């Protein structure tokens, strides 16, 4: 037995195929194809959750994605716990565990429901008014309390073990929605040969055919026709049919995001499958066929379990074979709900009465009701309901009369009419227009290349929908460049044309009433809350929405928006179109973070760039640091060493013998062409004409505003070929900066730029024994000081492979930078490493490199400069060509602010106590005893313990720093004040004799 309310012979599920699942620990039988909602209803369970604010008992309202109440937790295992799953969408699988939410200790007895009794204190906007005072209480008391009480469901604590995928797709025509309209349009479009993608959020296409059994298309039942058509379409090579796939976001230029639920319905999914797949579709044309959503009636206590949309009850009966009650009432403002009564009556369910607030329902449905013997109370309204955990009765009164008649029921089906689903259209930035005749907002002005068809376009007649869809499919295919080769023709019939519909509060819930007539079930917003918002001075619908939170829950007001708008319009004394609709935003239904992230997690979150020698450095025990996307060897601790000890040893070794360093991440740009020197003259402050092939020069690059942008050593390999180096972090932006000027300001120059950063592995060998180390490995290059002086470059061979060998130093020691084609890097590193070992040297990391360069006063752009430092501020005026007619930044350097006195200049700092190491970023003042806020003179940019100097050293930007040499300044810290002496930036070998070995 799969539930006492399963009606034999009804529905489309196969009785033999059962599945077992639990809800709040209790086990139930279901049929394959059931949603959790249909399975619970089959077992007579209507109470599925507690409301957000008042903790009122709530039941299933809908049979689709618009569901506001039936939000449950779904568990597969400890890590796979999904909160806030709509029970009306989630399919049952064998072995699934589900739980109710927002209740304690149990669903039927919930202590939070005290909020319902206290509801006068929780009126709309209470949140904004109540927690104002005292100021400190918000952070420490109110917010933590509200956070604990608010929110639905519980997030899993473990990392999500599932994986998610993502795919870009392109098509000529994208169909959103696989109902009769979408399928018909897809047929017409596909027949032209156009590439078509059709997506539908349900497991099976058919849309309204899930509930409407009266439709025939081309002589077959509508649902059957839909399945056959989808199958035929899927067989075509130019068509992709995606079910369980929701279009959730419509972005610029027909970029539509879909989420396909791949395994959520499977009991034991193949773990190679992604749980969900995101499709990022770029469509030439989009056809929106998203149908309409039935609105509920707004009346007192309209939220009891068992009160639901009339069409939902039809879906449960006609698709799932489930009767939602045994004695049902119907309360409606339009004809469609009558058909629910007819279907249920024919299935053997007692229909207590159809209560129709209209005096004149459609004649056809009225006649049919009478012939079926159903009592119809026209001009009557349901003014209240009874029942604790499920509706037990309805109070019916003639409109305008106070005489009540109580009718016992166990389910109440309501319909206020149908709201066209213009979400996707609105997201496309199309402008909706109010149609007074149907009382709905319909697509008005289109902003993108799309068309709405069928119910979401206000077309209600079935045959008219099909004609519209076929024409749209052909038109949109044609607009994408495809011609129709023959007409598609379809004939369809259905039972009734529907009339009627209303929005806003029904009888007994109007102005001056204080009953709880819910419009937004999920956020517990009642009709009276909207009126309160208006009385409080909210006159824009956007303000009313935020004040009341109407439509702001995860269902985004799919049921409530129009009701809220109608009530606001009435309270404001304005028409609905004047008040206007709030903007629909993506996502249409909630989307998991996993899907949005898809591949971008773990190793694939962001590229991790490693140098060619990374594995060797790792084997030597290097600790790595992140420099942008790069991993760089930070220091190489030996057994028993901490970072401090390792770095001190590395620094000492370089100055005493020799060290080797992986400099591969430095940016490298090859500048080639007859105008290469002319171009570099414009890009750098230095002059390059005078640089001879085989020589190198340190260059500074400015932005047009005169501030230092990057620096590096540039080698001239030939008259027309330069090897430019940049900082590691600057490689990409310097390349872009240079391309920008070359392409747009200096396009007349015959020169080209190529990034060569990764062509070369770079091994710096630095120290007194550097030459001894590389000499045995180098061929064809005279390494003597005379033949190969400091700041030179030669091409030759090392270890038998080509090298660009630079004689340069970022340590102040005699040094070489060995560039070899990257694949040879590890072998050459190994060879040099062996020689370094013989010489008593070691490998050193970026921390030692930073200290060694600071000992020599070499700046690091981006550490000692911050985008507001000029060459003069950094004592680099010598590198600015005074006679050059032009270079980028030449005019910026003359700006009044850049030439004034009192600028911050880069200087050295020595702490009075040599053992104290300053903090980088610490502020500097002249008088530590001055009142706060103190006048700050600058800040520390670099600071280290220098083992070679036997003391701490620092660099700092200080106002008029060079004029303060020898003066004492102070660095106030939270726990003490540190006295420092302003010094020159060079702490070791001022004469530079060590550079020559």
Site string for another protein, 527-566 (x = CB under 8 A): -------------x-x------------------------
Residue 479 sits in the site that holds another protein (CB under 8 A)? no
Q: Which is nearer to another protein, 732 or 986 (CB)?
A: 732
Contact positions with another protein (CB under 8 A) in 213-252: 251-252
Q: Which is nearer to another protein, 26 or 748 (CB)?
A: 748
Burial of residue 586, with CB atoms counted within 10 A of its CB: 0-12 exposed, 13-18 middle, 19 or more buried: middle
Residue 442 sits in the site that holds another protein (CB under 8 A)? no
Choosing from 747, 902, 921, 950, the residue that interacts with another protein (CB under 8 A) is: 747
Residue 165 sits in the site that holds another protein (CB under 8 A)? yes
> Considering the complex, what minimum distance in angstroms separates the CB of residue 440 from another protein?
17
Determine the Cα–Cα distance for residues 881 and 898; give it in Å rounded to an integer: 17
Give the binding range for another protein (CB under 8 A) out of 324-332, 500-508, 745-753, 849-857.
745-753
Choosing from 891, 963, 965, 967, the residue that interacts with another protein (CB under 8 A) is: 891
Q: Which is nearer to another protein, 162 or 335 (CB)?
A: 162
Tell me the three-class secondary structure of 89-147, residue by residue: CCECCCCEEEECCCCCECCCCEHHHHHHHCHHHHCCCHHHHHCCCCHHHHHHHHHHHHH
Give the binding range for another protein (CB under 8 A) out of 158-166, 491-499, 645-653, 925-933.
158-166
Of 114, 236, 129, nearest to 173 by C-alpha is 236
Q: Which is nearer to another protein, 548 or 942 (CB)?
A: 548
Residue 385 in contact with residue 304, Cβ under 8 Å?
yes
Residue 406 sits in the site that holds another protein (CB under 8 A)? no
Residue 301 sits in the site that holds another protein (CB under 8 A)? no
Q: Is 672 left (phi over 0), alpha (psi -120 to 50) or beta?
A: beta
Determine the Cα–Cα distance for residues 917 and 641; give it in Å rounded to an integer: 20
Please tell me whether residue 755 adopts helix, strand or coil conformation: strand
Beta bridge partners of 169: 281
| CA 395 from centroid of its chain's CA atoms | 48
Residue 425 sits in the site that holds another protein (CB under 8 A)? no
Determine the Cα–Cα distance for residues 350 and 330; give it in Å rounded to an integer: 11
Choosing from 114, 234, 447, 936, the residue that interacts with another protein (CB under 8 A) is: 447
Contact positions with another protein (CB under 8 A) in 757-796: 757-760, 776-777, 779
Q: Which is nearer to another protein, 29 or 755 (CB)?
A: 755
Choosing from 58, 76, 277, 380, the residue that interacts with another protein (CB under 8 A) is: 277
Residue 445 sits in the site that holds another protein (CB under 8 A)? yes
Q: Which is nearer to another protein, 108 or 754 (CB)?
A: 754
> Considering the complex, what minimum distance in angstroms separates the CB of residue 525 from another protein?
19
> Considering the complex, what minimum distance in angstroms separates the CB of residue 178 from another protein?
20
Residue 176 in contact with residue 290, Cβ under 8 Å?
yes
Bond into 495 cis (ω within 30): no
Give the binding range for another protein (CB under 8 A) out of 17-25, 104-112, 167-175, 489-497.
167-175
Residue 603 sits in the site that holds another protein (CB under 8 A)? yes
Determine the Cα–Cα distance for residues 639 and 621; give it in Å rounded to an integer: 9
Site string for another protein, 42-81 (x = CB under 8 A): ----------------------------------------
The angle subtended at Cα 399 by Cα 393 and Cα 404, nearest 5°, is: 35
> Considering the complex, what minimum distance in angstroms separates the CB of residue 510 from another protein?
28
Give the DSSP letter string of 682-721. HHBSS--TTPPTTBEEEEEEE-TTS-EEEEEEEEEEETTE
The conformation of residue 691, written as its DSSP 8-state character, comes to P
Residue 756 sits in the site that holds another protein (CB under 8 A)? yes
Choosing from 221, 625, 739, 981, the residue that interacts with another protein (CB under 8 A) is: 739
Determine the Cα–Cα distance for residues 659 and 768; give it in Å rounded to an integer: 9
Choosing from 736, 901, 929, 935, the residue that interacts with another protein (CB under 8 A) is: 736
Give the binding range for another protein (CB under 8 A) out of 51-59, 212-220, 826-834, 911-919.
826-834
Please tell me whether residue 789 adopts helix, strand or coil conformation: coil
> Considering the complex, what minimum distance in angstroms separates the CB of residue 420 from another protein?
16
> Considering the complex, what minimum distance in angstroms separates the CB of residue 197 from another protein?
12
Choosing from 831, 874, 924, 937, the residue that interacts with another protein (CB under 8 A) is: 831
Residue 752 sits in the site that holds another protein (CB under 8 A)? yes
Give the binding range for another protein (CB under 8 A) out of 198-206, 320-328, 427-435, 841-849.
427-435
Of 295, 579, 293, 563, nearest to 434 by C-alpha is 579
| CA 271 from centroid of its chain's CA atoms | 25
Residue 262 sits in the site that holds another protein (CB under 8 A)? yes
Residue 858 in contact with residue 711, Cβ under 8 Å?
no
Tokens linked to 868? 């507001």
Q: What stretches of 704-785 show up as alpha helix (H) in DSSP?
A: 731-740, 770-774
Tokens linked to 680? 């570099």
**φ/ψ of residue 426, rounded to 5:** -65, -40
Give the DSSP letter string of 869-912. --TTTTT-GGGS-TT-S--TTTTGGGSHHHHSSS-EEEEEEEES
> Considering the complex, what minimum distance in angstroms separates the CB of residue 249 from another protein?
11
Secondary structure element (H or E) that encloses residue 527, with its range: helix 527-535
Choosing from 145, 743, 967, 968, the residue that interacts with another protein (CB under 8 A) is: 743
Of 710, 704, 724, nearest to 891 by C-alpha is 704
Residue 655 in contact with residue 857, Cβ under 8 Å?
no
Residue 282 sits in the site that holds another protein (CB under 8 A)? yes
**φ/ψ of residue 576, rounded to 5:** -55, -45
Choosing from 582, 681, 865, 943, the residue that interacts with another protein (CB under 8 A) is: 582
Choosing from 624, 824, 944, 987, the residue that interacts with another protein (CB under 8 A) is: 824
Tokens linked to 78? 């400890």
Give the binding range for another protein (CB under 8 A) out of 20-28, 49-57, 297-305, 893-901.
893-901
Q: What count of other Cβ atoms lies within 10 Å of the Cβ of residue 979? A: 13
Core vs surface per residue 65-102: b (16+ CB within 10 A) or e: bbbbbbbbbbbbeeeebbbbbbbbbbbbbeebbbbbbb
What number of chain residues touch another protein (CB under 8 A)?
90
Determine the Cα–Cα distance for residues 930 and 913; give it in Å rounded to an integer: 22
Give the binding range for another protein (CB under 8 A) out of 87-95, 110-118, 159-167, 215-223.
159-167
Give the binding range for another protein (CB under 8 A) out of 48-56, 142-150, 268-276, 652-660.
268-276
Determine the Cα–Cα distance for residues 264 and 254; give it in Å rounded to an integer: 28
Contact positions with another protein (CB under 8 A) in 658-687: 670, 672-674
> Considering the complex, what minimum distance in angstroms separates the CB of residue 828 from another protein?
5
Residue 658 in contact with residue 838, Cβ under 8 Å?
no
> Considering the complex, what minimum distance in angstroms separates the CB of residue 704 from another protein?
6
Choosing from 129, 135, 147, 272, the residue that interacts with another protein (CB under 8 A) is: 272
Contact positions with another protein (CB under 8 A) in 614-653: 630
Residue 190 in contact with residue 240, Cβ under 8 Å?
no
Residue 765 in contact with residue 813, Cβ under 8 Å?
no
Q: Which residue is it, tokens 């171009």?
A: 679
Choosing from 255, 378, 590, 926, the residue that interacts with another protein (CB under 8 A) is: 255
Q: Which is nearer to another protein, 125 or 821 (CB)?
A: 821
> Considering the complex, what minimum distance in angstroms separates the CB of residue 589 from another protein?
21
> Considering the complex, what minimum distance in angstroms separates the CB of residue 539 from another protein?
9
Residue 330 in contact with residue 336, Cβ under 8 Å?
no
Choosing from 799, 818, 879, 995, the residue that interacts with another protein (CB under 8 A) is: 799
Q: Which is nearer to another protein, 95 or 800 (CB)?
A: 800
């Amino acid at each position: 037995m799969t539930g006492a309310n399963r009606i034999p012979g009804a529905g489309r599920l196969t009785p033999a195929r059962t599945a077992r699942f639990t809800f709040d620990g209790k086990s139930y039988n279901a049929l394959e194809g059931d949603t959790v909602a249909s399975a619970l209803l089959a077992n007579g369970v209507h109470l599925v959750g507690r409301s957000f604010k008042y903790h009122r008992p709530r039941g299933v309202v809908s049979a689709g994605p618009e569901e506001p109440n039936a939000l449950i937790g779904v568990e597969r295992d400890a890590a796979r716990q999904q909160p806030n799953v709509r029970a009306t969408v989630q399919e049952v699988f064998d072995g699934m565990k589900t739980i109710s939410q927002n209740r304690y200790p149990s669903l039927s007895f919930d202590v939070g429901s005290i909020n319902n009794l206290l509801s006068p204190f929780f009126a709309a906007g209470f949140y904004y008014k109540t927690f104002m005072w005292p100021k400190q209480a918000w952070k420490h008391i109110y917010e933590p309390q509200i956070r604990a009480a608010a929110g639905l469901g519980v997030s899993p604590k473990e990392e999500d073990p599932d994986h998610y995928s993502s795919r870009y797709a392109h098509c000529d025509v994208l169909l959103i929605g696989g109902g009769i309209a979408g399928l018909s349009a897809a047929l017409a479009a596909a027949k032209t040969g156009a590439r078509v993608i059709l997506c539908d959020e349900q497991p099976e296409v058919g849309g309204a055919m899930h509930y409407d059994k009266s439709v025939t298309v081309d002589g077959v039942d509508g649902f059957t026709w839909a399945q056959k058509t989808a199958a035929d379409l899927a067989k075509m090579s130019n068509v992709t049919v995606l079910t369980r796939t929701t279009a959730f976001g419509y972005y610029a230029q027909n970029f539509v995001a879909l989420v396909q639920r791949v395994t959520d319905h499977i009991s034991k999914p193949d773990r190679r499958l992604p749980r969900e797949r995101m499709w990022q579709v770029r469509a030439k044309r989009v056809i929106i066929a998203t149908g309409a959503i039935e609105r509920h009636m707004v009346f007192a206590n309209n939220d009891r379990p068992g009160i639901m949309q009339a069409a939902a009850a039809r879906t449960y009966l006609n698709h799932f074979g489930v009767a939602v009650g045994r004695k049902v009432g119907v309360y409606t403002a339009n004809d469609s709900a009558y058909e629910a009564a007819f279907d249920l009556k024919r299935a053997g369910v007692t229909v207590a009465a159809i209560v129709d607030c209209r005096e004149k329902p459609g004649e056809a449905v009225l006649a049919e009701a009478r012939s079926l013997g159903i009592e119809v109370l026209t001009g009557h309204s349901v003014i209240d309901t009874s029942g604790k955990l499920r509706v037990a009765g309805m109070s019916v009164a003639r409109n305008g009369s106070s005489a009540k008649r109580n009718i016992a029921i166990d389910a109440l089906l309501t319909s206020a009419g149908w709201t066209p689903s213009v979400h996707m259209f609105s997201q496309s930035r199309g402008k909706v227009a109010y149609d007074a005749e149907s009382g709905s907002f319909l697509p008005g002005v289109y902003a993108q290349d799309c068309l709405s068809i069928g119910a979401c376009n206000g077309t209600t007649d079935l045959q008219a929908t099909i004609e519209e869809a076929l024409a749209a499919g052909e038109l949109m295919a044609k607009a994408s460049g495809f011609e129709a080769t023959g007409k598609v023709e379809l004939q369809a019939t259905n039972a009734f044309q529907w009339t009627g519909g209303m929005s806003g509060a029904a009888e007994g819930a109007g102005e001056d009433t204080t009953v709880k007539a819910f419009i937004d079930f999920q956020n517990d917003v009642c009709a009276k809350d909207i009126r309160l918002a208006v009385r409080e001075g909210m006159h824009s619908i956007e303000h009313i929405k935020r004040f009341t939170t109407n439509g702001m829950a995860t269902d985004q007001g799919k049921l409530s928006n129009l009701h809220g708008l109608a009530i606001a319009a009435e309270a404001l004394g304005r028409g609905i179109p004047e008040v206007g609709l709030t903007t629909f935003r993506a996502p249409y239904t909630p989307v998991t973070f996993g899907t949005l992230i898809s591949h971008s997690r773990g190793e694939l979150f962001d590229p991790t760039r490693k140098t060619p020698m990374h594995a060797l450095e790792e084997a030597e025990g290097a600790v790595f640091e992140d420099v942008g996307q790069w991993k760089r060897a930070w220091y190489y601790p030996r057994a028993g060493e901490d970072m401090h000890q390792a770095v001190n040893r590395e620094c000492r070794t370089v100055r005493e013998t020799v060290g080797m360093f992986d400099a591969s991440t430095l940016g490298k740009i090859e500048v080639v062409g007859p105008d290469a020197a002319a171009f570099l003259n414009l890009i750098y402050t230095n002059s390059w004409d005078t640089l001879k092939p085989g020589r190198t020069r340190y260059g500074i690059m400015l932005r047009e505003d005169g501030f230092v942008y990057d620096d590096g050593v540039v080698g001239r390999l030939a008259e027309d070929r330069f090897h430019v180096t940049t900082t590691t972090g600057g490689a990409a932006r310097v390349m872009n900066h240079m391309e920008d000027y070359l392409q747009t300001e200096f396009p007349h120059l015959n020169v080209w730029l190529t990034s060569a950063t990764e062509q070369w592995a770079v091994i710096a060998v630095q120290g007194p024994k550097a030459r001894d180390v590389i000499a045995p490995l180098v061929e064809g290059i005279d390494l003597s000081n005379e033949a190969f002086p400091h700041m030179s470059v030669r091409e030759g061979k090392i270890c038998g492979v080509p090298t660009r060998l630079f004689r340069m130093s970022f340590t102040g020691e005699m040094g070489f930078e060995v560039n070899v084609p990257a694949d040879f890097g590890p072998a050459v590193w190994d060879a040099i490493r062996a020689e370094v070992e013989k010489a008593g040297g070691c490998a050193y990391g970026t921390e030692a490199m930073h200290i060694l360069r600071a000992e020599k006063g070499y700046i690091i752009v981006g550490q000692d400069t911050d985008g507001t430092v000029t060459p003069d501020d950094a004592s680099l005026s010598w590198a600015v060509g005074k006679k050059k007619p032009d270079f980028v930044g030449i005019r910026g350097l003359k700006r009044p602010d850049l030439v004034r006195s009192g600028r911050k200049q880069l200087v050295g700092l020595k702490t009075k106590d040599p053992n104290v190491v300053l903090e980088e970023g610490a502020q500097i003042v002249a008088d530590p005893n001055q009142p706060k806020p103190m006048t700050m003179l600058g800040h520390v940019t670099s600071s280290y313990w220098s083992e070679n100097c036997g003391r701490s050293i620092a660099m700092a930007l200080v106002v008029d720093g060079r004029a303060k040499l020898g003066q004492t300044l102070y660095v106030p810290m939270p726990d003490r004040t540190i006295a420092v002496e302003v010094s020159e930036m060079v702490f070791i070998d001022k004469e530079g004799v060590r550079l020559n070995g």
